[in-house]
Amino acid sequence: MLLRLLAPMLALVLGACASTPPDSLYQSLGGEPGVRRLVDEVVHELHTDPRINALFKDTDDAYFKERLFEQICELSGGGCSYTGLDMEEAHSGMQLTETDFNFFVDDLRTGMTRAGVSIGAQNRLLALFRPMHGDVLHK
């Protein structure tokens, strides 16, 4: 009897764990609403940063935000799948430099801070972005 009661509860808990581990970075970022807010703030920041905003003047924001959401969700353990261009393809022809990358990171930080993301979670997310460096720059 006890087993009959406990089994569905256990299945529920394990099911939830399989899709989004409770200690995942995704959870620290606030799950779906948190990551969507973060993406909104970051894209706003990219558009208002005079150092790099010219690059985003023709951007389809709805598309770009959705791809960023998927990418951050996937990287942070939220269980999404990124469906956009690979990073090299997405940035080819832009000839982005280390300086551009630093401006972009500044905007990520400002956007994340405005979205209420803790410094610890910001650092964890930026550490996941860093290895993409080579695919994004000088293409």
Residue among 62, 68, 58 nearest 107 (CA):
68
* Contacting ligand HEM within 13-52 (CB under 6 A): 52
Give the C-alpha distances (Å, rounded to integers) separating 76 from 127, 128, 130.
11, 8, 14
* Contacting ligand HEM within 89-108 (CB under 6 A): 90-91, 96, 100-101, 103-104
Kindly state whether residue 128 participates in binding ligand HEM, applying the rule CB under 6 A.
no
Min CB(118)–ligand HEM separation in Å:
20
The tokens describing 51, both together, are 């150092």
Distance CA 8, CA 14 (A): 10
Q: Are 120 and 28 in contact (CB under 8 A)?
A: yes
Distance CA 47, CA 49 (A): 6
* Contacting ligand HEM within 56-75 (CB under 6 A): 56, 58-59, 64, 67-68, 71
Kindly state whether residue 132 participates in binding ligand HEM, applying the rule CB under 6 A.
yes
Kindly state whether residue 136 participates in binding ligand HEM, applying the rule CB under 6 A.
yes
Q: Which residues lie near ligand HEM (CB under 6 A)?
A: 52, 55-56, 58-59, 64, 67-68, 71, 84-85, 90-91, 96, 100-101, 103-104, 129, 132, 136
